[in-house]
Amino acid sequence: MKKEDVPQDLSSLGKITKEVCYATDHSGKYVTELSRGWDIKITALDTAWEDIEDRIKIAGEKVSNGHASPILYFMERGLMDTGIVAAYTGFRKWQVKRHLKPAVFKKLSDKKLQRYTEIFNVSIEELKSMTVHED
């Protein structure tokens, strides 16, 4: 693609950052050019974020209905799975899966809950109540 043809479609990320693209200049040499966005990529990212928001909402509903512990909600918010949470907390994957059960979660000690609060960046009370403070 030619330097002047690099897409400049404004996206939500385009207001914050720009992407480096390779293009050819007038003499045919490859150069870098900044792009604010590209319609196809914008649509794909928006769709992905909508899916993530849906997963977070579903996780919140599962917690509210008593089918999962608040750990599930914070995992979805943090774009984490049990393997990632296990790696950060030091728990085994099977333990994290077990802690996703509301009855087990209620019995966890503050020491164990503290390991979760550190990776989710919340207090123990916020973890238990699913309160989120946006910074």
Its pTM stands at 0.75
Look at the chain and count its residues. Answer: 135
Query: Which of 3-7, 33-37, 49-53 is least confident?
Result: 3-7
Query: Are residues 31 and 96 both part of a single domain?
Result: no
Average pLDDT, the chain: 89
Domain extent at residue 11: 3-37
Tell which wins on pLDDT, 75 or 14: 75
Q: What is the mean pLDDT of residues 86-105?
A: 98
Query: Are residues 56 and 121 both part of a single domain?
Result: yes
pLDDT in tens, 40-73: 777 888 899 899 999 999 999 999 999 999 999 9
CATH number at residue 78: 1.10.260.40
Query: Are residues 27 and 57 both part of a single domain?
Result: no
pLDDT in tens, 117-135: 999 999 999 999 987 665 5
Neighbouring residues of 35: CB distance < 8 A, sequence distance ≥ 6: 6, 7, 8, 18, 19, 20, 21
CA angle at residue 80 from 104 to 93, to 5 degrees? 45
Domain count, the chain: 2
Tell me the percentage of the chain whose pLDDT exceeds 70.
92
Q: How far is CA 122 from CA 23, 64, 84, in A?
A: 44, 19, 17
Query: Are residues 59 and 122 both part of a single domain?
Result: yes
